[in-house]
Amino acid sequence: MGIGSFAFHASLLFQAQLADELPMIYVGTLGLWLLFDVKSNFDIHSPHTWLLIAMLAAFDGLFTWS
């Protein structure tokens, strides 16, 4: 995040803005996964966990694409 943020604020280019913004979105969705994962042992085989991961990955993909 730091390198992308430096590149954006130093150049103000659109590509550098993506390098600044997208990692923050990815870290934010990781935080949402940690917040909404109801199992304290990170049970990766749970259907709820797979659904949550799929939804957050879809959000990240759609956000990156848009």
pLDDT of residue 37: 78
Domain contains 9: no
Domain contains 12: no
Task: Please count the CA atoms within 13 angstroms of the CA of 11 that sit on its side-chain side.
Answer: 14
Domain contains 31: yes
Domain contains 15: no
What residues contact 39, with CB distance under 8 A and at least 6 apart? 46, 48, 49
pLDDT of residue 52: 87
Structure-block tokens of residue 13? 């280019």
pLDDT of residue 1: 66
Domain contains 7: no
Predicted TM-score (pTM) of the model is 0.73
Domain contains 16: no
Q: How many domains does the chain have?
A: 1
- Structural domain that includes position 40: 22-66
pLDDT of residue 60: 94
- What is the residue-level pLDDT of the chain in tens, covering all 66 positions? 678 788 888 888 888 888 888 889 999 999 888 888 776 666 778 888 888 889 999 999 999 998
